[in-house]
Structure formats: structure tokens, C-alpha cells
Amino acid sequence: MKNKLKRFLRPADLIAAAAVLAAAGLLALLGGTDGATAEIIVGRQTVETVDLTAVREPYTIALDNGVTVAVEPGAISFCASGCPNQLCVRAGKLTKAGESAACLPNETLIRVTGRARNAPDALTG
Amino acid sequence: MMNEKRKKLTKLAVAAMLAAAALAMSFFETTLTAGLPLPPGVKPGFSNIAVLFACASLGLPSALSVAAVKAGFTLLTAGPTASLLSLCGGLLSVLAMYFLLQIKHRRLSYAGVSALSAVAHNLGQLAAASALVGSALYLSWLPVLLLSGVGFGLLTGVILNAVMPALAKLKLFR
């Protein structure tokens, strides 16, 4: 029985899987601090910076390229875009420092940064 | 001489069949996951079964061409951006497979190779997306993406482990 199982899955497979899961768990634990500001970048140019801590009422920003971004207290998200797969919308709300989402067909990026001491870009391995 | 040529042709034909199988599995997968609220990038990746088989039995060039055919198909069905992501993910995952399969006295079965190459696929796509926007992207669901890569990667690898004896019986390369 044991040998039969070994044909499908070996201990080394599970060790490799566990190593990646540990890395994923570590990332999940580290992704912590609330974001302070959000940047909207179109074609590598920052077009808008929002202080998320100062937002009281939700509102939307319509960009020139047809993308609409929703801002609410402590969060920013894509709410509409003309692209076919809507991945950017499905990315959901960004709330933590270091998170980002992009609408690639429209070259639009939103990202949340914390205060100056946070270095969000260093998180991507 | 003649034998060499025949071998090459067989390899080409099998690679083409695997590419077709990969496309069929991709399509089957989209019908399976359609409507499920999965985060972007989370999918079973059944077509990796064909890519991994190509890498293990035909070699690196054939596996790369299967990945390229997949990206080409994505170009037709989902547009250039998705195609580029597919290509970068596919490229990195095939390279990961190749190097893992090269290891002497390898203890990983196809399940482990598949899980790690699935993670390489996800990271390759993230890197390509980051390059496109000119800034390192960090996705809030990256841990979920890694988790699903490992889980589905193990699953597809176990499937290949299971069907390998049957595929070997076909004696494709004789």
C-alpha cells in the first residue's frame, strides 16, 4: 500500500511544497501595516496622489484613458476599465502599504504606500 | 541515418499533439472555473501536465515550443498583454522543470517538480506584469497565489505520476 502511494507522491514532493507554503505564510504575516497614501500612475507618470487617511466620503476618479478608480477611507480600488478581462477590477481593494494592482492594457497602476520608512517595492522577490 | 530522421519526426509529431492537448486542457479548465470568484491568476493549470510530459520525455526545446504555442493561442483568444504574461510564466516554469529534472538522484517526483514549476509560472507572470508597468508589483493575494500554485501543481503532478505508466506503454518513441 505504502509503495503504491509513493508512485503518486513522494516525501520530497511534500517537503518542497511545505517550503513554498512557509514562504507564503511568512508573506501573509508580514503584509501588515495600513497604507497611508495611494498613487495612481498612468504610463509610468504619477497622475494623482491621494492621502487615504484624509478621505472621509467615498468618491471616484475618472481617468482620461477610461479607467475609473474608487477611493474610500483607507482603501483604493479599480472600479471600471475598458479592458477585456477586468483583472484590475477583480484585484479588489488595496488597503495595506506595499500593495499594488495594475490594469495592464491601459498601463494604469495603483499602489498604496505607507509612511516614508516603508519600502514596499522590496517585498516583491 | 534514416532512423535519426524518423526519431526527429516522431518527436515533432508528439510535441504537436502535446501542444494540442495543452490547448484543449486550457479550454476545458476555463469552462470549469468560469463563474467561480477566484482571484486573478488562480487556476488549476491542467495544461502543465502536457508541458511537463514534453519536458520529461522530449526535452527542453519541445517543452518550450509547447509553452510558446500556448502563448500564441492566448494571443488569439485574450490579446497581447495576456499572451505576454502567458509566455513569461510558461518560459520560467519550463526552465524550472528542466533544471529540476536534470538533478541527479532526484528525490522529487513529477508532483514536486510540477508544484515548484507552477510557482515559477506565477512568479514569472508577476515579473512580466511588473516589467510592463515599470514598477515592482506586489499583490495582496500573492500568498494565495503561491498556495494555489503549490496545491494545483501537486495535483497536476500526481495526475502525471498516475498516467505515466499508461503513457510509457504507448511506446511513443520506438
- Rounded Cα gap, residues B153 and B93, in angstroms: 11
Look at A20 and B149 and tell me if their CB atoms are within 8 Å.
Answer: yes
Domain chopping of chain A, boundaries: 1-30, 37-116
- Rounded Cα gap, residues B68 and B76, in angstroms: 13
Q: Chain A, 13-72: which have a CB under 8 Å from a chain B CB? A: 13-17, 20-21, 23-25, 27-28, 31, 41, 44
Q: Which residues pair with B56 in a beta bridge?
A: none
C-alpha cell at B115: 508544484
User: 3-state class of A75 per DSSP?
Assistant: strand
- Rounded Cα gap, residues B25 and A21, in angstroms: 26
B chain contacts of residue A85, beta-carbon cutoff 8 Å? 78, 82
pLDDT for the residue numbered B2: 63
Q: What is the ipTM of this complex?
A: 0.81
Backbone angles phi, psi at A84, to 5 degrees: -70, -40
C-alpha cell at A44: 509610468
Average pLDDT over residues B112-131: 93
The residues, any chain, with a CB within 8 Å of residue A109's CB and separated by 6 or more, are A39, A40, A41, A42, A100, A101, A102, A103, B133, B135, B137
pLDDT tens digit at each of 125 positions of chain A: 556 777 889 999 999 999 999 998 888 887 667 778 898 998 888 888 888 888 888 898 988 888 899 998 888 988 888 777 777 887 888 888 888 888 888 888 898 887 644 444 544 44
Class of domain A37-116: mainly beta
The string of pLDDT tens digits covering residues B61-104 is 999 999 999 999 999 988 888 899 999 999 999 999 999 999 98
Q: Compute the mean pLDDT over every residue in chain B, rounded to the nearest whole number.
A: 90
Answer whether A96 touches B (CB < 8 Å): yes
Pairs of CB atoms within 8 A across A/B: 124
Q: What is the CATH number of domain B2-169?
A: 1.10.1760.20
Domain chopping of chain B, boundaries: 2-169
For strands A100-103 and A108-113, give the pairing: antiparallel
> Grid cell 501573509 — which residue?
A28
Q: Is residue A110 within 8 Å of A39, Cβ to Cβ? A: yes
